[in-house]
Amino acid sequence: MTMTISSMRIGHGYDIHRLQTGGRLMLGGVQVSDQISPIAYSDGDVVIHALVDAILGAMGWGDIGEHFSDTDPRWRGRSSSDFLIPTVQRLNQAAYTLVNCDVTIMAERPRLKDFKPAMKTALAKLLGISTDRINIKAGTNEGCDAVGQGQAIAAHAVVLCCPTGS
């Protein structure tokens, strides 16, 4: 199959959650804290939620809330990987593959540098791609807004998808 520019798909996803004391914070499928947790219907993994939205957006399939509603009791307390796995399966069934992804996590706490390799490994397994096709950046909001004051955590994700075999 010859790939044309019109067959490539780019998607962007974003997620944000307020933080609370206690519990555990999952990012990219990795526990990064047992001191804080997101206020969320599922496990609140903003990285995976942003990736799901990015894939759905690239394919024109709506957003995470349309597929995994926070009013549906099936999704309460679930691991965010339970959203990503079927989304990637649907992508593959549509004869598309994930070329790469770029994730930016915005958080004042915890410091994420030491967790980035584990996140890449966990995401590579969930996405079915190699770690060299995943980039994770972590930044702060320099004290601005709820993220900058440590009251929330957010993530942006961008993905490139192309037809399988291209």
Closest CA to 25 of 98, 108, 102: 108
pLDDT in tens, 94-120: 999 999 999 999 999 999 999 999 999
Residue found under tokens 């990736």: 51
Domain ranges of the chain: 5-163
**pTM of the full structure:** 0.94
Looking at residue 5, what is its pLDDT? 62
pLDDT in tens, 23-67: 999 999 999 999 999 999 889 999 999 999 999 999 999 999 999
Say which amino acid occupies 127: L
Q: Strand, coil or helix: what is 141?
A: coil
Superfamily holding 5-163 = 2-C-methyl-D-erythritol 2,4-cyclodiphosphate synthase (3.30.1330.50)
- Contact 143/91 with Cβ under 8 angstroms? no
Closest CA to 153 of 68, 38, 60: 38
pLDDT in tens, 114-158: 999 999 999 999 999 999 999 999 999 898 899 988 999 999 999
pLDDT higher than 60, residue 2: no
